[in-house]
Each structure stands twice: as C-alpha cells, then as structure tokens.
Amino acid sequence: MRIIGSYVSPYVRKVLACLHVKGLPYEIDPITPFFGNEEFERLSPLRRIPVLLHRDLVLSDSSVICAWLDDAFPERPLLPAAPAERARARWLEEYADTRLGDLFIWGLFYQKFVRPIVWGEATDEARVADTLERGLPRELDYLETQLPPDGFLFGSEIGLADIALATFFRNGAYVGFAVDAARWPRTAAFVSRALAEPCFAAFLPFEQAQIATDPKGRRQALLAAGAPLTAETLGTREPRRGVMQL
C-alpha cells in the first residue's frame, strides 16, 4: 500500500492514523500537493492529498480512503456498530474535514506557514484574526457539547471520528494555537488524549523532521527518522497551484 502526501497534512495524518490502528503497513511519498508532478495530477485531479494506491486501486480524499480501509480490512473497525452511532461518527468526520479544515488549515496553517514559505506571500492577518476571534471559538463551543469527559466518542478505543477531529489540532499547534483549557476543558482534554495515542504519536518524529528540514535535505532527514519512504517520488522542485487554489 502506498500513500502520497505530506506527514504534516491533517488529512494524510488521518489516513496514516487509521492505517496504524488497523496495523497495516504502507510506504509514503511525503510530498505537499503544491510540489506534485503531472503523474500526481493524473492520480489526484484536484491536486489534493492524500492519495492511496493499492494494486490497481487509486483513491483520493481521506474520507473515501478511510471508508475503503474499514470495508477492506474490517478486523479492527474504525466506526461503531450501531447505525445511529455510525451516522453520528460520519457526521463528525464531515464536520471536521470541512469546518475545522477551513479554520485550522486555510485560516491559520496556510496563512502562517504555507503562504510565506511556499509562495513568498504575506499572511492575511485579517483572516487569521477572524479565525482566532470568531471562527474557532464558535466551533470549540460546539465541540465542548459533543466530546466525552473521558475516553473517546464511542468507547474506550480511538476511532475514525476521534482521529478526524483531533488531527487538525496538531496543525494548529504548529502555528501557535492551543485550546484554552479553562474555557473549553472537555475539548482540551480530548485533544491531549487523542494526540497522545500511538496512532498519532508514532508519526510525530516524521512530522518534526519534515517541518524542521530544508526541502533539499528533507528526504534524507525522513529516512534517518525511520519513515517508510517510497523508492521514487512524484515531487517537483517548483510549486504549482492546483485548481482549488487558483
């Protein structure tokens, strides 16, 4: 099984966490979507990550990939068994991918990390301020009503809904965001529990190696950290915007 996508992407992290929960081996080509070649665009027409390749199967979109993983490898389910709980888990995954993705990635991480480093553009400080002052507080208020006081959403074991929610907070931390535990104690405790799970903690050294290293030395740094890299890469030296970033 092969994954295309950066360790620092919350959507790639979501898929890798699910692979870890299920004990499935993989190789990874840890490129960001802006640095993918024509073959990458053929596999991912929207130039988005992750992409999963398995034999003759090519899948894009983290939710599609995770659903396939649960269907193809059912031994350790990612979703609860009861239909109502499964529906709620799918809703929380969709909520995380859309709303938390917009806030944490496009409102914070893209503005403070990607724009200046990849494109040489100034951060949109007004959007960052709106995200911190209006957007995130609204969603944290909602999460405070949804998350359990201990354990995870559907029991003692971490599942897809927990993973889908928690992954965005790792990217928030990379640009200086932390949940105010006095204002949102349940959410702060949940995020800490989830990100401490082996399915997240296992990849932290690879993320840190990727963030801390110049692109020219990144592959070697990841290999030194023990990342299971593919023999070849679809990465390029120059960034290119996809149809969703034009």
What would the pLDDT profile of 20-49 be if each residue is shown by its tens digit?
999 999 999 999 877 788 999 999 999 899
pLDDT computed for residue 242 by the predictor: 60
Same domain, 99 and 149: yes
Q: Are residues 168 and 221 in the same domain?
A: no
The answer to whether position 92 is within a domain reads yes
Distance CA 193, CA 184 (A): 14
Residues 209, 195 within the same domain = no
Spatial separation of the C-alpha atoms in residues 200 and 36, rounded to whole Å: 25
Q: Is residue 245 part of a domain?
A: no
Give the tens place of pLDDT for each residue, 214-237: 777 888 999 999 999 999 999 877
pLDDT tens sequence across 132-143: 999 999 999 999
* Percentage of the chain lying above the pLDDT 70 cut: 96
Alpha-carbon span 88 to 105, nearest angstrom: 23
222 touches 208 (CB < 8 A): no
Tokens of 242: 């996809």
Q: What is the DSSP code (8-state) at residue 34? A: G
Which tokens belong to 245? 């970033």
Q: What is the pTM of this model?
A: 0.94
Per-residue pLDDT tens for 61-85? Answer: 999 999 999 999 999 999 999 999 9
Confidence bin at 239 (pLDDT 50/70/90): low
Residues 17, 68, single domain; the answer is yes
Average pLDDT over residues 112-120: 82
Amino acid 139 reads E
Q: How far apart are CA 25 and CA 36, in angstroms?
A: 23
Does 98 share its domain with 168? yes
Question: Do residues 26 and 2 make contact, with C-beta atoms less than 8 angstroms apart?
Answer: yes
Question: 143: closest CA among 182, 102, 185?
Answer: 185
